[in-house]
Structure 1
């Protein structure tokens, strides 16, 4: 499903021009429409055990197909092991376009052996729901939780796969200790903030607003494959690189992992790279909670990895917290909604040029207001981390408890919801001791959520 928004055409053109990706269907400049998906042309992803079967099923190469180049097989198709279990294979010009090859071969063999190497953009297209707006002398929204209480995230490790960290992230007191990561390559030495610059810093700051003592690792600028660009230098990365980055990030032994990239797929099924990553690694990590944004297309079409069965997909609520944000994706595949409109948190200090309206500029002094499901996601991640530090639950256990609460206070027509001060929320809690946590932002005591009504204490 496509979405038409102001500035979208410029955003898609920017992504395509800086990544060399192809669009499906082909993008027409000036259309104002988002393509279904972006992908790496001339490349497919293959299960390692299926490589020989796939090669044999593809057309035989012409005599000039093999050029003897490093990494090329005698059939002319180079193969790169992304991580154990997944191979990235180049196609020959005689094989056809990557989407046609994927559809035809999977249909012919009757199983899903191959997939596209999707270009994944921060919270899909566009990212985010808006461009950042400077905030001067303001405070974070949601506010920074007290660091001296029980629900602080102390001892919990959160790994974030995003754009890295701004060079001056430590100027913010809630990020000054216990936060580590790669440098954000979209914030230049001359303080020019390129499009998507500061995204990872804003996400990290939002987690820390909810769980101020959690340890954070922010991935973003690591070169995965020799000779290729850094992972994120334009707000987008191919799924093969992101899968490899997640695989490496697991070395931090995180309790909670947040990935802020999203994509639709050619068959509305989970990308093959994430299936293999889950089978080979993630399912064997006890207690890991994995979260991803539902994306900002105002669509019911599943976005991945948010729609994967093992991922908590997070949608966005509006600024008042009582309805779905108009940009948020929705549907049964979205597990929970949290505030995602008009949030304020750390960005960086520098000069930014907007895509919409073209040529408009702004100077940032540290804080920004921003909207998107990629920012409602770290609110839920922070709630899980904050709860873990007090209850000694694993990430998955804390997530299950919070999702139970979210379902109990669901908003009709929206779905399960959580709010920033609900780390201790449970439908069996002593509501009279912290009834405020059950009141919508700006609401009154009479507006408390239904989970209170199910508690005997209330």
Structure 2
């Protein structure tokens, strides 16, 4: 992934977590963020082994401090995770890589990972944005369009969106008439400008509602804080979400993170999943809920978790991982992650849905500049390049003094990312449950994939393409930025 956009966004996330020192890694790897000076381990014996092993290693390593190695926070929790401080990130090099290397021999003997970085889990446009939203005509059509069929509260499929919350006037949008949930926190700044990523959860809910009108959609603002959260907290927040809303038929989750690791899991060499999510994923497996998760926007084959759980045999029926197709639906969008762990692809470039309500227009200033060429090396007119705009965070703007572009939103928007391909797929599973009166969401998801004959070209492979009948391809032409 091109570093410029990632570094710009890293600064934004760090500002949203002022008390948490963050790092990119390893070697500034784009898309991977974690907490400096802290590792995660499983409660009990493994946490003790990690603590003792790292302390013994640091006794023999210059510049690191064994007396800093200690457990922090609750020692037991529902997530089964212990947070261990392995050094002071303010003194010398970040101690986390040293601590993980110290555990290598012990992990090899035990045959599995004992500790991991405390990753930053982010909505799948945040640390790796597909693009920023573009205003659409407020009276224009949504894309995907609204499918046939009405809403019946007795038979409606229950869909839980774990994301940012709903904008305050979402009820003025007909698409969201039956959508409930948390309010978006701090929609605008002191100047009345829309904050970055406000409307992300609202946009997703609108897509689900269009594809599957007979859905009860609940949007929880679990990721309201700039769409980013530490892995050590994420599992607990997911438990809170299902405790509040109940286990639904479908969870639409447009968030995750890549990882680093030394194990081989389910045929995915070098990755191990998220220690902080293990307890939640085990509980998910025991339920009937289908988790539909975004593959991420790093244009990478590196697994993005929790979507990558779909490739593990024990989760194959309970997780559907979704990549994004470009605007014409024939191949992957330039930003979409890919690989054998991505089960299906759905339209995810230049979709149209509700961003804000229709009551009051609100201004937005672009944060990132577009590029002269696709940052991932694609040649079609992708969202890296068009519509052209200058962003306030851009290094180019700082060097040229260019003024950032401002637009007005008053309802609908056009937006791109695997974040939005995910609710397309979730909506298609929900729509199938209604059409065929299926009661089991996992069976509906499996049958949807089995019945999908359409294919798209992704990195030389022909992959399942979940294109709703109401979705309209967008011509691959250079679009203009609305005035």
Q: TM-score, normalised by structure 2?
A: 0.75
SS of 1:143 mapped into structure 2: coil
After superposition, the Cα gap between the structure-2 partners of 1:396 and 1:262, relative to the gap in structure 1 and judged at 3 Å, is same
Supply the distance in 2 between the matched residues of 1:347 and 1:66 (Cα, whole angstroms). 50
Does structure 2 retain, via aligned residues, the 8 Å contact 1:153–1:389? no
Q: Deviations over 1:209-232 (max 9, x none)?
A: 1112311121225xxxxxxxxx53
Q: 2:78 is matched with which residue: 83, 106, 115?
A: 83
Identify the match of residue 336 of structure 2 among 314, 328, 331. Answer: 328
The 5-angstrom pairing of residues 59-458 of structure 1 reads 59=55, 76-80=70-74, 81=76, 83-93=78-88, 97-110=95-108, 111-123=112-124, 126-136=127-137, 137-148=139-150, 154-177=155-178, 179-188=179-188, 191-221=192-222, 231-251=223-243, 252-267=246-261, 268-279=271-282, 281-285=283-287, 287-308=288-309, 309=312, 310=315, 311-348=319-356, 349-355=361-367, 356=369, 357-358=390-391, 359-390=404-435, 391-406=437-452, 408-412=453-457, 413-421=461-469, 441=473
Q: Contact 2:70/2:84 (CA < 8 Å) preserved in 1? A: no
Question: Which deviations, in whole Å up to 9, do the C-alpha atoms of 1:232-270 show, x marking residues without a partner?
Answer: 321211122222121122222211012111211012221
Contact 2:38 2:96 in 1 (8 A): yes
C-alpha deviation, 1:198, in angstroms: 0.9
Q: In the alignment, does 2:14 pair up with 1:16?
A: yes
- Identify if the C-alpha distance between structure 1 residues 76 and 253 changes in structure 2 by more than 3 Å, giving closer, same or farther: closer
- Equivalent-residue separation in structure 1 for 2:55 and 2:94 (angstroms): 9
The alpha-carbon deviation at position 104 of structure 1 amounts to 2.6
Q: CA RMSD in A?
A: 2.9
Deviations along 1:340-377, whole A, 9 cap, x unmatched? 11100011142211112122211100111001111000
- Kindly indicate whether residue 17 of structure 2 is the aligned counterpart of residue 47 of structure 1: no
1:125–1:233 CA distance, 2 compared to 1 (3 A): closer
Residue 186 (structure 1) shift: 4.7
Residues 352 and 361, structure 1, Cα contact 8 Å, conserved in 2 = yes
Assess, with a 3 A threshold, how the Cα gap between structure 1 residues 126 and 405 changes in structure 2: closer, same or farther: farther
Cα–Cα, structure 1 residues 100 and 204, in superposed 2: closer, same or farther, change >3 Å? farther
Structure 2 contact 86–99 (Cα < 8 Å) conserved: no
Identify unmatched segments of 5+ residues in structure 1.
28-33, 68-74, 222-230, 422-436, 444-458
Cα distance in 2 for residues equivalent to 1:105 and 1:65? 15
Deviations 1:54-100, CA, capped at 9 Å, x for gaps: 222231699x9889xxxxxxx74323345342222333339962233
Number of aligned residue pairs: give it.
397
Residue of structure 2 equivalent to 1:450: none
- Distance in 1 separating the partners of 2:232 and 2:252: 17
Query: Residues 239, 205 of structure 1: CA spacing in aligned structure 2 closer, same or farther, 3 A cutoff?
Result: same
State how far apart, in whole Å, the 2-side matches of 1:21 and 1:182 are.
28
> What secondary structure sits across from 1:380 in the alignment?
helix
